[in-house]
Amino acid sequence: MTSDEIVIRRAREEDLPQLIALFADDAVGGHGDTTDPDAYHDYLRAFHALDRASNEQLFVATLDDAVVGTFQVTFLRTLAGRGALNMRIEAVQTRSDLRGRGIGAQMIAYALEEGRRHDCKAVYLTSNLARTDAHRFYERSGFHRSHAGFKMALK
C-alpha cells in the first residue's frame, strides 16, 4: 500500500469478501464469523437488509481501494428525552495489521459527524470487556463509561 489517504464511504456489496475476512479475523468478538463459502449467503442477506434500512448505515474505511476498517451506525428514536434521536456505533473493526495508524480515530470522527448531521442528542457504543486497548481508545476519543451493558444470547 503506497498511499496513506483513508477514504470512508458507505459499504458496497463488492466489499463483502473483505468485510467478512475482517470480522473472521477477530478472535475476541466471538460472533462466529467465518470465511467459509457456505456462510456467504448469510452475509449477503444481512448486507441487503442493512443497505435498505433507513435507520442503519454500514461504512468501510479504505486505503488504496482495500477495506482496512468498518463500522456501522444505527439511529434510534426514543420517546424518552422528548423524542430524542440517538446514534449507536457498532462493529468497529480495523484490520489487525494496520492498528495504531489512526484509522479507528478517522472512523470514529466520521461516525460522530454523521450523528451531528442527523442532529442526534447522544452517541452510544458498546465494547467487549476483553478489549481493554479499545476501551482506552474510546476514552481518548471522548467517550466515557456511563452505563452498564447487558447481553443475552437468543440463539
Q: 38: domain CATH number?
A: 3.40.630.30
Q: Which domain holds residue 109?
A: 6-140
Does the residue 148 lie in any domain? no
Does the residue 153 lie in any domain? no
pLDDT exceeds 50 at position 35: yes
Average pLDDT over residues 128-147: 87
Does the residue 107 lie in any domain? yes
Does the residue 109 lie in any domain? yes
Give the predicted TM-score (pTM) of the model.
0.90
In this prediction, residue 10 has a pLDDT band, given cuts at 50, 70 and 90, of: very high
User: pLDDT per residue over 67-95, tens digit each?
Assistant: 999 999 999 999 999 999 999 999 999 99
What is the predicted pLDDT for the residue at 3?
55
Does the residue 150 lie in any domain? no
pLDDT exceeds 60 at position 28: yes
Close Cβ partners of 135 (under 8 Å, ≥ 6 residues apart): 127
Does the residue 152 lie in any domain? no
Instruction: Give dist(CA 88, CA 136) in Å, integer.
Output: 19
pLDDT exceeds 90 at position 124: yes
Q: How many domains does the chain have?
A: 1
What is the predicted pLDDT for the residue at 150?
84
- What are the helix (H) ranges across 9-53? 16-24, 40-52
What is the predicted pLDDT for the residue at 29?
66
